[in-house]
């Protein structure tokens, strides 16, 4: 995403009184109030090196293999070697184990499963829900970056576990993105753990992702963000359009969870309905994509998902985790959740012939860039607060010091309240945990604070909570 170039009027540097930056003198025209510092992230060589490893051929092979199992319906055959969801997940597991075998122990492959009993909804017989996970353990394993795709598929009837449902786009494409990300990040040596997931039961109400999200919650993990790639095949849309350099990124603005006993959302974001952790993560993702895939645009969609549809990010949102969904810009409804048939010269069904593998590879490159930088970066600053104890024309922000030895410092991102993405950035040295932005009224601007290491890797930024006393 291209952010507008910041205007640099006659100001030298941003303000700071108590702590950091030298105050800008008031001019006869008033305080300097324009954004200062370009918020565009730096293009980092180690990130670019990982991105360059993404292989379109690997992605194509994965999608064709998954589509070749006929159906991957969650309740389908599990014993056959050639058909059904059992064969599909053995393929995923074996392919990831092949990567792990050459990783000198850095990549661990796990399956986690439970039996889902008939629920009167979309599961009609006891069914094993199996998530296949590939894990690159970080040095700070309490924090986890999750990249996910769902490997189950459905034909037209959601309960039909026998008809063909190749699911090449929905969602062998996203599964291939998660698997390819695991392959290229196998030697990442991240701070936060990288968890790549192929989940099932998505079409039966997000079962596999709910199971995964709950297991992370129960283990007290902090999810940096979860990205689900779901329908990233780059097809020609039902509208006849094809945009091979655009990807949509859906994120919730108001947290959907967790909820109390009455179903009310417990977490609120004060002072903005556009700055929930998921929205910050979506901006973080979008800002990096064009640095590593030139000409590629991530189109931020400020809603949790499309109408009538859901996705695995919702399972994470519902437990209070930051999560967003990646989906092609123009969906083709003849090729989703359809039987493979031809009627009146019109082809239905989700087949690999209709997937643009080079597009899927671009999506994977964007995912690798953001997931790797987020996992390699310092932790996001904690206890970020905006001082609201007094009526002032300025803004004072405070946070807790990070503990990383190679911390370079912090940065405050800012934008006016009507702006969709950050328009300015002020750097703060590592020995400071407070900044006063003179001339930036907290009523007129939105802020977030990120941490930066010596290599220039930036954490996802944190929106401040009000400091009342």
d(CA 107, CA 174): 20
By the rule CB under 5 A, 394 interacts with Zn ion: no
Rank residues 337 and 385 by Cβ distance to Zn ion and give the closer one. 337
Task: Quote the least distance from Cβ 150 to Zn ion, whole Å.
Answer: 6
By the rule CB under 5 A, 328 interacts with Zn ion: no
By the rule CB under 5 A, 170 interacts with Zn ion: yes
Rank residues 230 and 328 by Cβ distance to Zn ion and give the closer one. 230
The contacts of residue 272 (CB under 8 Å, 6+ apart) are 417, 446, 463
d(CA 47, CA 97): 24
Rank residues 51 and 326 by Cβ distance to Zn ion and give the closer one. 326
Task: Quote the least distance from Cβ 397 to Zn ion, whole Å.
Answer: 39
What token pair was written down for 275?
A: 């700055």
Nearest to 182 by CA among 276, 75, 99: 99
Task: Quote the least distance from Cβ 208 to Zn ion, whole Å.
Answer: 12
Looking only at residues 110 through 139 of this chain, which bind Zn ion when binding is defined by CB under 5 A? Answer: none
Rank residues 112 and 309 by Cβ distance to Zn ion and give the closer one. 309
Task: Quote the least distance from Cβ 202 to Zn ion, whole Å.
Answer: 6
By the rule CB under 5 A, 312 interacts with Zn ion: no
By the rule CB under 5 A, 331 interacts with Zn ion: no
The contacts of residue 52 (CB under 8 Å, 6+ apart) are none
DSSP conformation letters of 432-457: --EEEETT--TTTEEEEEEEEETT--
d(CA 137, CA 176): 21
Task: Quote the least distance from Cβ 121 to Zn ion, whole Å.
Answer: 17
What token pair was written down for 149?
A: 């795709």
By the rule CB under 5 A, 171 interacts with Zn ion: yes
Nearest to 413 by CA among 461, 365, 351, 354: 461
Looking only at residues 226 through 285 of this chain, which bind Zn ion when binding is defined by CB under 5 A? Answer: 230
Nearest to 191 by CA among 141, 134, 133: 141
Q: Backbone phi, then psi, for 467, in 5-degree steps? A: -95, 110
Rank residues 170 and 318 by Cβ distance to Zn ion and give the closer one. 170
Task: Quote the least distance from Cβ 228 to Zn ion, whole Å.
Answer: 9
Rank residues 76 and 193 by Cβ distance to Zn ion and give the closer one. 76
Binding site for Zn ion (CB under 5 A): 170-171, 230
């Amino acid at each position: 995403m291209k952010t507008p170039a910041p205007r640099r009027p006659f100001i030298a540097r941003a303000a700071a009184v108590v702590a950091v930056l030298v105050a800008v003198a008031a001019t006869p025209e008033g305080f300097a109030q324009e954004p200062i510092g370009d918020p565009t992230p730096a293009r980092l060589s180690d990130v670019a090196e990982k991105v360059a490893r993404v292989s379109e051929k690997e992605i194509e092979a994965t999608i064709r293999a998954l589509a070749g199992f006929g159906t991957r319906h969650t309740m389908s055959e599990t014993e056959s070697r050639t058909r059904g969801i059992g064969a599909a997940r053995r393929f995923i597991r074996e392919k990831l184990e092949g990567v792990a075998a050459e990783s000198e122990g850095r990549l661990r492959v796990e399956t986690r499963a439970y039996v889902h009993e008939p629920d009167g909804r979309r599961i009609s017989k006891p069914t094993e829900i199996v998530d296949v996970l590939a894990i690159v353990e970080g040095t700070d394993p309490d924090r986890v970056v999750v990249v996910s795709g769902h490997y189950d598929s459905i034909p037209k009837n959601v309960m039909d576990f026998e008809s063909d449902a190749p699911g090449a786009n929905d969602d062998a494409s996203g599964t291939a993105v998660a698997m390819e990300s695991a392959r290229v990040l196998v030697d990442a040596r991240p701070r936060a753990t990288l968890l790549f997931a192929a989940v099932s039961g998505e079409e039966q109400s997000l079962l596999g992702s709910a199971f995964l999200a709950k297991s992370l919650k129960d283990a007290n993990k902090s999810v940096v963000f979860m990205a689900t790639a779901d329908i990233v095949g780059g097809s020609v849309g039902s509208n006849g359009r094809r945009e091979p350099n655009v990807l949509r990124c859906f994120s919730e603005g108001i947290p959907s969870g967790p909820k109390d006993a009455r179903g009310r959302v417990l977490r609120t974001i004060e002072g903005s309905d556009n700055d929930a952790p998921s929205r910050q993560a979506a901006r973080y993702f979008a800002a990096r994509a064009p640095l590593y895939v030139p000409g590629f645009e991530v189109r931020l969609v400020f809603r949790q998902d499309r109408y009538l549809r859901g996705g695995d990010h919702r399972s994470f949102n519902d437990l209070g985790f930051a999560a967003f969904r990646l989906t092609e810009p123009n969906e083709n409804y003849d090729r989703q959740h359809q039987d493979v048939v031809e009627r009146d010269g019109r082809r239905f069904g989700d087949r690999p012939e209709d997937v643009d593998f080079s597009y899927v590879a671009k999506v994977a490159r964007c995912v690798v860039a953001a997931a790797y930088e987020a996992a390699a970066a310092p932790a996001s600053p904690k206890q970020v607060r905006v001082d609201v104890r007094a009526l002032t024309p300025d803004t004072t922000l405070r946070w807790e010091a990070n503990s990383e030895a190679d911390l370079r410092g912090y940065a405050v991102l800012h934008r006016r309240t009507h702006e969709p993405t950050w328009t300015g950035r002020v750097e703060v040295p590592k020995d400071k945990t407070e900044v006063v932005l003179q001339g930036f009224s907290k009523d007129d601007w939105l802020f977030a604070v990120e941490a930066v290491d010596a290599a220039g890797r930036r954490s996802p930024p944190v929106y401040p909570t009000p400091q009342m006393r």
